[in-house]
Each structure stands twice: as structure tokens, then as C-alpha cells.
Amino acid sequence: MLLRTRGISINIEEPVVGRITRNAGYTGDNSILICENGLPSSRIEKFACVLTNQESTDWQGDHPVVFKVPSFEHLNEGDLVVVSQDGNIKTLYRINSFHNTLLATERCNSNCLMCSQPPRDRNDTHRLYGIYEKMIPMIPKDCFELMISGGEPTLMGELFFQLLQLIKDQLPETEVHVLTNGRSFAWNNLAEKLSDLEYNRLMLGIPVYADYYQMHDYIVQAKDAFNQTILGIHNLARYDQRIEIRVVLHQQSIPRLTRLSRYIYKNMPFVEHITFMGLEYIGYTPYNIDKLWIDPHDYMDELGEAVEFLSGQGMNVSIYNSQLCVLPEALWKYAKKSISDWKQSYLPECERCNKLSDCGGLFTWNLKKHSEHIRPFA
């Protein structure tokens, strides 16, 4: 799935955020027109920007246009994009998807061995916030769910709270799922500040990878991260914030996994959801694969015990990023089709499988690295 394309920009002085249309007669605000057969002779000024596959050779206008865009296939009527000065056209929101994510910042105070989206140390928060400030009011009000991820979103500082307030005001019916390492909430005032938003559609997804600080800190490559995260969760619970715990399954997290499940139940029984997630083969993971890889088939005992213990105590548990043929049947009821549409794939042999429609499949990038035990059900 393509989420980015690029052409040659003219007259773009600041990023243009708008809604894609192919209808030259469209009259809404903030529209970005796609013209595949040459620029229209009139009404071009009604659009915030025009995108075309044509050459720019003889064009003389003073309106923002991007020429020579190689493909528009991935853009649907109503999608939201940002067009930058350099001609990049980035999809921000896809109208036909339930999996829309705002990247809050690329900065992070952790550096997880298996990070799927390695952080970058540059201050991008103001630039990104500027884009989202324009984009969020354009999102359809019936948007079911928005994910906010990073990097570490809370590193936006004050803007993090402003962003949530904006979403709450503009999209009161939308579920908001923030992926954060929770460390910032070790400072109680930030947990309190979050609760001041009185945002009951907000859920924080927070990773905990071990019950023992040293192992967790090693996995996230950050000293004191474990204690900060646990304190953060504790503070958030103090203010009745909704919390999800996310556990990524790999060679380092498996040995203490059943202990972790008991730790969660005993110390954080208030969390709303716990999810155990298969490893993504992207970002840092290929680099650290020797430290991380364990065939999922080989951790099913530990996973089964952890999941069934928590579920047995009445907690809400899921398994993400796992294929049905690798899971024992007793665990199928916990398996969710969790992989976002644009990054989900199947192996060639999966075509023959009669459980395909119930199976979450693989991350596209995991086609290169997956369990040796994937077998189609016949």
C-alpha cells in the first residue's frame, strides 16, 4: 500500500493540507484536485492545490501545483493528504480504512531492540502539530478510531495535550488509541493533566516486556524505563485512565512471560486490555534478529499459560500478529485480525487455506521472516 508519492512542485510555500477530489466542479474548502488529463482551464484557484501527472513545461500560473506525479491510484476521494514544498504528497488519513494513525513525533526516549519505526532525533513536533491542526477538523465525524503513535507522543509536551483536546473537540465520537511508553506519566502531574481532559474515549497502549526491570530496560534500551513505566501506569490508574498493556513476543521477553502475566494481574489488575503481539520484521528488528528471533511455534506453551492465566482471572486478553495455524486451537479465541490493511499479507501457500478469512495473516515485511510452521488448513 502506497502512502507517499512525489512530483515537481510549483508555488508551494508552506505544507498544504487538504482533501483529495477528482471532481473539478467540487466546491468544498481545502480540496486538492487530481487532474490526470491536463489542468482545467478555469476554477483552479478554488482548490488549495492541484496534482497532475502532466509535465510542467509551459505552465505559467501562480497557483500551487504538483506536476509529474507518477501515480494517483492509491488516493481515494476524500482522503486527506499533506503536500510539501518539495513535492512530497503524503497520505494522512484514508477514508476507507479503520486504521488511521497520526505520527506524533519521530523522537523517542527509548530505543527498543525491536522498534518497527526507529526514532529520529530531530524536533519535528511543531511542524507535525501544524499539519494535524489543519487536518483534524477535516476528518469525517464518523471516524471510528484514530491511533496516535510515534516515536513517543508524550514528548510533544504541551502540544500532546493540545492535540488530544483538539481531537476530542472535533471528533467526539472517535475512539483514540495512543501508543506511548508511559514513562512521562511517572510524573504524577502529567497523569493528572491527562485526566483533566476527561476523555473517556481515550485509551493508552503501554508496552511492558518483563516483570523485572533489568530485562525490560534492556529490551527498550533505556535505563529506569521499567520503573517509570510502571509508576506511570500506576499514576494513570489513580485517575481512572484507560490502559492497555502491550507485550511483544521475542527471545528476550519469552523467558519471563508467565511471570509477567502474574505481575500484571497482581500489580495492575485495573488495566482494560492486555495484548500479546508477534514480532514485526522491520525497523531495528532485522538488525537485532539474532537477539530477538524465536519461532512462534516454540513459545506457544509460555504464551498459552500467560494468556489463559490472565483470561482465567477475568482480564481481557488478545493475541495480535499471529497466524491461526501456528496457534493451538485453544488460543484462537484470543487471536485478533490486528494487522492494518495496508501492511497485511499472506504467504503463497495461504491461498489454499480454508481458514484464511479468519486469520490475521502476516505483516508484509514478515513474509521474509515467519514461523516455519505455517501450514494451510485443508
Partner 1 sequence: MAEADVITKNRKFKELGFYDNQENNVYFLLPMRFARLNQEKEVLVNEVGDHLVVREGTFQKIVQRELNKEDDPDLFGDLVANHFISESRIPPLIDVLATRYRTKKAFLNNFTMLHIFVMSLRCEHTCHYCQVSRVTQDKDKFDMSRDHIDKGIDMMLQSPSPHVTMEFQGGEALLAFDNIKYAVERVHLLAGLRNKSVTFVICTNLALVNEEILLYCKEHEILISSSLDGPAFIHNSNRTRPGRNSYELAIKGIELSKRILGPSRVSALMTTTNLSLDYPIEIVEEYYKQGFRNMFLRPISPYGFAVRNERKNKYETDRFLEFYKKALGRILEYNLAGEFFTEDYATIILRKMLTPFPVGYVDLNSPTGCITNVIAFNYDGSIFASDESRMLAEMKDFTFQLGHLDTHSYEEVFYSKRALEIVSTGINESLPGCSDCAFQPYCGADPIQNHATQGDMYGYRPTSSFCQKNMEIIRYLIELMDKDKAIAKIFESWVKSRS
Considering only residues 25 through 84, tell me which ones interact with partner 1, judged by CB under 8 A: none
CB of 197 to partner 1, least distance (A): 19
Cα radius of gyration (the chain)? 23
Q: Between 26 and 293, whose beta carbon lies closer to partner 1? A: 293
Residue 363 Cβ vs partner 1, minimum distance, rounded to whole Å: 22
Q: What residue ranges in the chain does DSSP mark as E strands?
A: 4-6, 8-10, 16-21, 31-35, 49-52, 65-67, 80-83, 88-93, 100-103, 145-149, 175-179, 202-207, 242-248, 273-277, 317-320, 344-345, 362-363
CA distance 265 to 247: 14
* DSSP, res 253: T
Judged by CB under 8 A, does residue 212 bind partner 1? yes
User: How many residues in total does the chain contain?
Assistant: 378
- Name the one range near partner 1 by CB under 8 A: 3-11, 92-100, 206-214, 292-300: 206-214
> Hey, which residues between 107 and 146 contact partner 1 (CB under 8 A)?
107, 109, 111, 113, 118-119, 121
The site map against partner 1 for 85-104 (x = CB under 8 A) is --------------------
* Site for partner 1 contains 263 (CB under 8 A): yes
Residue 269: what residue type?
Answer: P
Binding to partner 1 by residue 162, rule CB under 8 A?
no
**Window 221-250: residues binding partner 1 (CB under 8 A):** 221, 223-224, 227, 230-231, 234
Q: Which is nearer to partner 1, 23 or 111 (CB)?
A: 111
* Residue of 297, 274, 303, 261 lying closest to 370 (CA atoms): 297
Using CB under 8 A as the criterion, what x/- string covers residues 264-293 for binding partner 1?
-xxx-x------------------x-----
- Non-local (6+) Cβ contacts of 180 within 8 A are 150, 152, 153, 154, 204, 205, 206
The verdict on 206 binding partner 1 (CB under 8 A) reads: no
Q: Residue 328 has which C-alpha cell?
A: 493451538
To the nearest whole angstrom, how small is the minimum distance from the Cβ of residue 294 to partner 1? 17
Q: Segment contacting partner 1 (CB under 8 A): 41-49, 68-76, 273-281, 308-316? A: 308-316
Can you tell me the distance from the alpha carbon of 87 to that of 200, in angstroms, rounded to the nearest whole number?
39
Grid coordinates in use for 186?
511517572
CB 249 within 8 A of CB 299: yes
Q: From residue 78, how far is each of 18, 37, 274 by CA, in Å?
A: 9, 20, 34
* φ/ψ (deg, to 5) at 45: -70, -10
When binding is defined by CB under 8 A, the residue of 106, 217, 280, 302 that contacts partner 1 is: 217
Residue 360 Cβ vs partner 1, minimum distance, rounded to whole Å = 28
Which of 309, 332, 342, 365 forms a contact with partner 1 (CB under 8 A)? Answer: 309
Rule CB under 8 A: which residues touch partner 1?
107, 109, 111, 113, 118-119, 121, 154-155, 157, 184, 211-215, 217-218, 221, 223-224, 227, 230-231, 234, 256, 259, 263, 265-267, 269, 288, 309, 312-314
